[in-house]
Amino acid sequence: MEYTKKVKTRIAVVMLSMLTFISGYAGVWISGDDGLSMQPSMRDHLTFEDLMNPEYSGDGPIDNRYFLPIGESAPALDDLRGTLTVPRMVMEKSTYRYNDYQNFPGFSVDFFTYEGYLVPVTRTLIVSPGNWSLILSPGKVWSEPGDRGMSRASFPFTLGSPPDRITAGGEAHNGVATFLFDSTQISAFRFQVTQETAPDGDIYDMWGHFPMEYHPAGIPDQETLEAQFADELASQMPIHPWSELESLYDPQVLTSLTVDIPPNEISAAGIVVDGVLYLQPSLTRYGEYPYPRYMHHAAMSISKSIGAGIGMLWLAQRYGEGVFDLHVTDYLEVSANHDGWDEVTFGDVLNMATGVGEYAPYPRPFDPTANESGGNYINWYLAETTAEKQSIVFEQGNYPWGPGEIFRYTSAQTFVLSAAMDAFLKTQAGPDAHLWEMLQEEVFRPIGVYHMTMIHVPNGPGNPGIPLMASGLRITVDDMGKIVTLLQNGGRHNGDQLLNASKLAEALYQTDQAIGLPSGKTFTFGDQAYHMSFWSIAHRTQDGRFFQVPFMSGSGGNTIFLAPNGVTTFVFTDFGQDAYSLNCPSLAESIQPYPGEGIRIGLLVLKGVWLIPENLQKIRIANDLLLSWIGLCAASWVFLLVHITRSARVTPRLKWVWLLITLLLGPLSLLAYLIFDRRSRHAAVIET
């Protein structure tokens, strides 16, 4: 009994200790960026003393929750209006590598507060030689009792690949920063970067504690800027937690979206359906990201679809579908020493079917990415100007086939298309027209995508350069949700047709015929295809209809699937594998059925979406043979039926046996019957 009492006492003490510990961190629910987050109820990191100390005290990143309000909080006690300046300084990092890229780029940017938000005036890509590029996004301001009359602020930011590391293709490293302020003074600038989309393997933490200057001053056109930000808030896409979707549909089915991907490898994943984006938690190595709506993702080759693909669809709406038939040589100085480019159209480049390339000069076996490696590929990425990049592209050889015949994925040629599109636009809209600026003005801003950034390649003084388009896009889930909604709505927004409807339907494989060039990959229900910058995967619905489901794809495993039922699934990751994506067409179908009849297959056996010519020919021969056999069986059955009906030598039961066998074996059974009938006749003659 005494032993039992001691055990019970120890258990009680342990439980009391646990409750005491938990109560200190039990947290209160506070409103996060797009939902509710459990926060500690007491601030023991990033305290007033920590931030007011000019020297850094700490041993690395902390949980991201501390960059949001902790415990009791209230609105900010002061407005912030003026210029914030942070110098270029050496960051701490969790790796001994990348010492050439260890400086925080610094910035000097106007900020203002608006209804609890901290808003940077500059939202474009801030680029300076030898530095990480920088994207600043809106954050929050508030006050806490322990801050001695000062207010707090935090905001998200993104570090992008330095210009001389353009081989990284536009990777995105997401961080969050915080500081204290009042009307006259400001604390140190504390930040940490603990998440990224970096398929090249640049995965590590960065952090720092830097001096910061605040120069209070009026913001030029602040009323206009406030109105623009209010419009931005009003046009935000509704983002609901993933748990809400799990309450509507089978959670086990929903897990197939990111199956086999470790949660810490996922930058963002979710589903867009009926105008709502359902988002999984945006995890970092130090807790959830405080501002998931503003987390930027390295789109990588998804840039080809959203940049070049949508760009061509916009040009087709503005100037007619004939833009797909324009010749590259009419708009660019092609320096190639062969005539391979002479007949290449804008559409051929968008289809990755120029017939021009350096490696694997044979159509079979399939080698669709032959031009995505080797010296030319690296040299092209490292080239710093538009002229240098084009020169490297045009130095490549000519394949023995012509344009439009063989799919060869070549990122460098997408940049050539971008330059040609820009040159064409200048012939129509004037020399001051710039492709990305007009695309933003006439497509992206009208749908509420105000600050999506694209890497530009210098093209001489006095202009913004040529958009890379091959990669270089950094996109938020809010941007992505609005763009896929535009595509799913046939290129129409608020009654305005922004993209050419018929060409968009073609790009999204919304036809009754199998289209696109085969990539060489074959899956359960048919061949993978590429068409107008969109990939497709063959899918058979539960009731037996066939579809080509379009998707965008980027290095690292990034995918955006646009199912024909209006459901969009997306995953941003640098895990390096995309096998999970095979589940996306079925996952979309589990949410709502696919509409329409699908693709007209016209096959009796081996039904599927077949595009590889030699395989398709074999399948058609097999189907022709089957049709011929069915025809012979039918003719044999009819002949036998007529003959056997007139015969008195066959019993009724035997008649049905012969008819059934002939239905299955056709002319073989008929031949057997005729032999049997002849012998029966012969036997009857002998008997008589």
Q: Is the peptide bond before 365 cis (omega within 30 degrees of 0)?
A: yes
Mean of pLDDT over the chain: 89
Token pair of 100, please? 């050439």
Amino acid at 148: R
| 429-438 confidence digits (pLDDT tens) | 999 999 999 9
Name 352's bridge partners: none
Whole-angstrom distance, CA of residue 469 vs CA of residue 422: 12
Model pLDDT, residue 112: 98
CA 432 to chain centre: 31
CB 609 within 8 A of CB 587: no
Q: Is the pLDDT of residue 396 over 60?
A: yes
Q: Please give the span between the terminal C-alpha atoms of the chain, in angstroms, as a whole number.
A: 113
Report the 10 Å Cβ neighbour count for 405: 14
Model pLDDT, residue 624: 80
pLDDT above 70: percentage of residues in the chain: 91
Residue 474 backbone dihedrals phi, psi, to 5 degrees? -120, 125
Range with the lowest mean pLDDT among 40-54, 164-178, 442-456, 525-539?
A: 164-178
Name 110's bridge partners: 83
Whole-angstrom distance, CA of residue 278 vs CA of residue 36: 14
| 53-95 confidence digits (pLDDT tens) | 999 888 899 999 999 999 999 999 999 999 999 999 999 999 9
CA 194 to chain centre: 21
Model pLDDT, residue 21: 31
Token pair of 413, please? 């040629």
Q: Is the pLDDT of residue 35 over 60?
A: no
| 633-671 confidence digits (pLDDT tens) | 788 778 777 777 776 666 777 777 777 887 777 777 777
CB 126 within 8 A of CB 84: no
Note the CATH architecture for domain 302-474+494-505.
3-Layer(aba) Sandwich (3.40)
| 514-540 confidence digits (pLDDT tens) | 999 999 999 999 999 999 999 999 999
| 564-599 confidence digits (pLDDT tens) | 999 999 999 998 877 778 899 999 999 999 999 999
Unique residue bearing structure tokens 């990049």: 389
| 314-341 confidence digits (pLDDT tens) | 999 999 999 999 999 999 999 999 999 9
CB 349 within 8 A of CB 417: yes
Model pLDDT, residue 342: 97
CB 267 within 8 A of CB 295: yes
Q: Is 470 helix (H, G, I), strand (E, B) or coil?
A: coil
CA 288 to chain centre: 21
Give, in order, the Cα–Cα distances in Å from 50 to each of 39, 55, 71, 465. 19, 9, 17, 43
| 202-217 confidence digits (pLDDT tens) | 899 999 999 999 999 9
CB 637 within 8 A of CB 644: no
3-state helix, strand, coil in the chain (%, to 5): 40, 25, 40
Report the 10 Å Cβ neighbour count for 119: 25
Model pLDDT, residue 20: 32
Task: Name which of 481, 477, 489 is nearest 564 in CA terms.
Answer: 489
| Domain-wise residue ranges, the chain | 29-233, 239-295+508-591, 302-474+494-505, 613-687
Range with the lowest mean pLDDT among 106-115, 120-129, 167-176, 328-337?
A: 167-176
